[in-house]
Amino acid sequence: MKHAFIFGTTIFLSERNTLTYSDGLSNIEFLRILSFYDNQKGKVLSIDANINAPNGEVIRISANNNENNANVQLDVTSGRIKVFQPGHAEPVLDVYQFDPHEYPGLSSHVLNEIHAQHPDHVVTIKGNFFVAGAHFLIENEKMFIDNNGYANGVENAHNGVILSAAVA
């Protein structure tokens, strides 16, 4: 099974269901897809996540539940999980699984990769959070890890999606 993970306009294709941050010395898994949305099988998108909010608060999500009672609100639907801090309109973390009829609205290079590689699931991740001290800011167009921006990239992530603040 192959999955597509979209960060802004950068797409990673991987057979693994995890997202990892590398600081150069160690790898820290910060998001795992436990199940992908499948209406026919009665499955919802379910995640584990271990991140920090911009205010430093530790957020641990386990199977779409607030594991450590962090001061956040979870908005969970069958194909999307959003994590909000009180009083904030923008989510700290937003994980959304696209329905195939939504693919044509994606950037042309992302759509080309989806058509060429036929991933089983296409998921976009957005938000404003920290992992091991690294600041992730993921918007519609770009992903920033600390001060390094990423856009319009394609990565066949054979060893899983491993993100880093270092420019390759």
pTM of the predicted model over 0.85: yes
Mean pLDDT of 159-168: 81
Question: Among residues 38, 10, 1, which one has the least CA distance to residue 113?
Answer: 10
* 66: Cβ contacts below 8 Å, ≥ 6 apart: 59, 60, 72, 74
Phi (first) and psi of residue 16, to 5 degrees: -95, 155
Tens-digit pLDDT profile for residues 39-57: 999 999 999 999 999 999 9
What's the rounded Cα separation, in Å, for the pair 126 and 115?
Answer: 23
Distances (CA, A) of 103 to 62, 98, 108, 110: 28, 7, 10, 9
Distances (CA, A) of 15 to 2, 65, 127: 4, 25, 23
Per the listing, tokens 């990423």 go with 150
Residue 1 CB neighbours (<10 A): 10
Tens-digit pLDDT profile for residues 60-104: 999 999 999 999 999 999 999 999 999 999 999 999 999 999 999
Percent of the chain whose predicted confidence (pLDDT) is above 70: 99
What's the rounded Cα separation, in Å, for the pair 159 and 45?
Answer: 23
Tens-digit pLDDT profile for residues 99-136: 999 999 899 999 999 999 999 999 999 999 999 999 99
Positions of E strands within 26-133:
27-35, 46-52, 58-62, 65-66, 73-77, 80-84, 93-97, 121-131
